[in-house]
Amino acid sequence: MPGFIKPQLATLKSRAPKGEHWLHEIKYDGYRVQVHLNRGRKKVYTRNGLDWTKRFSAIAGALDIPGEAIIDERWLSFTRAVPTFPNFRQS
């Protein structure tokens, strides 16, 4: 398994592209993480490569994928169906 892989980050633009070949989605605020799963062992990295495995151990523990995988995702916290970023800072 490779170590941390630097993620491709979004680039700020002054306006969204136009045309029928584009999709747009709501961007929720949360933590961008990279999860490395290696035969039962789990490692969680922030988008800057910090090892936050201990901080997010409960969430990483829920990922039960056999074999090897690298998952690049955004973890969100919701309160009454509303994204609440500060909840992560309290955990």
Asked if 73 contacts 16 with a C-beta cutoff of 8 angstroms, the reply is no
**Res 37: pLDDT:** 92
Residue 77's contacts (CB-CB under 8 Å, 6 or more residues apart) are 30, 83, 84, 85, 87, 88
- Tens digits of residue pLDDT in 14-28: 888 888 898 877 777
Write down the pTM of the prediction: 0.70
